[in-house]
Amino acid sequence: MNILPADYHMHSDHSGDSDTPMKDMIESAIKLGLSEICFTEHMDLDFPVTKEVPEGLFTLDIPAYKRDLFSYKEEYKDKITIKYGIELGLQMQITDTNSALIKENDFDFVIGSIHLLDKKDPFYPEAWEGKDEKDVILRYFESTLENIQAFNDYDCLGHLDYIVRYAPSGAPYYSYNMYKEIIDEILVTLVKNGKGLDLNTKALFRGSKEPNPPADVLKRFHELGGRIITFGADAHTPEGIAGSFEKAREIAMNCGFTEYYTFNKRVPSAIKL
């Protein structure tokens, strides 16, 4: 069996939605035989405050995060490569703030993700109430396009169809073909700007037949000239690390990919699948 791809989307207790110490994530990755991981802690500025989400929950304490990561990077250097990443929440009103944040730091890898739609979190029912699901999903893709046209200082787009995970019906109707025009615009923008896709296996690991984005979107990305993909389990606990990576590798290869990518100081390197 080939060694599992590097896991380039994971969280520890430096993210507001994880309670797992970084050390536990690292040791689990080592036990799985991974040669490389990248922590991508959440930084979602201007995140709406609700009864479920206190102020600052997704505001990353970068100095504390960096201190921990580089300490463990040294401690475990003979066992695993640890990269310094961030999952940056994109919103139009904070584009300049996000740009400054990235310029001020020396991350190895930046995921750009859209976790909010019109300042609401689709994880919660309020974002969907009184709205047509299909229209909400379309609006999410439109917002994604707006954000990646306005902001370019990231490496991969996180879980492109993230919103589908939380559709109240489960979105059984969802397909690339239903949203082909807007998804193609997103993919063309990524290719034009030399960006990649986060092949996010969280849904796959939880029993879905498809990752985010699904195989037909990955295949279309490759057809349009996209080559950069990273594997990300989006794990917030040790159990999820590298979840369903063998299946995801098979999906990627069936979509035409022969390589995946890792990053060092924002520079991509290809690795054979």
| pLDDT tens sequence across 179-217 | 999 999 999 999 999 999 999 999 999 989 999 999 999
Which residues of the chain register pLDDT less than 50?
Answer: 1
Question: What was the pLDDT predicted at 37?
Answer: 99
What is the pTM assigned to this prediction? 0.96
Question: What was the pLDDT predicted at 16?
Answer: 81
Copy the structure tokens of residue 119.
């300042």
CATH superfamily of 7-272: Metal-dependent hydrolases (3.20.20.140)
Contact assessment for residue 88 and residue 46, using Cβ atoms and an 8 Å cutoff: no
Angle value at C-alpha 103, between 101 and 104, nearest 5 degrees: 65
CA atoms within 13 A on the CB side of 187: 22
Copy the structure tokens of residue 250.
């098979």
Question: What was the pLDDT predicted at 141?
Answer: 98
Question: What was the pLDDT predicted at 50?
Answer: 79
Cα–Cα distance for residue pair 235/12, rounded to 1 Å: 8
Per the omega criterion (within 30 degrees of 0), is the bond before 213 cis? Answer: yes
Question: What was the pLDDT predicted at 109?
Answer: 99
Nearest residue to 39 (alpha-carbon basis) of 76, 79, 3, 66: 66
Question: What was the pLDDT predicted at 253?
Answer: 98
Question: What was the pLDDT predicted at 2?
Answer: 65
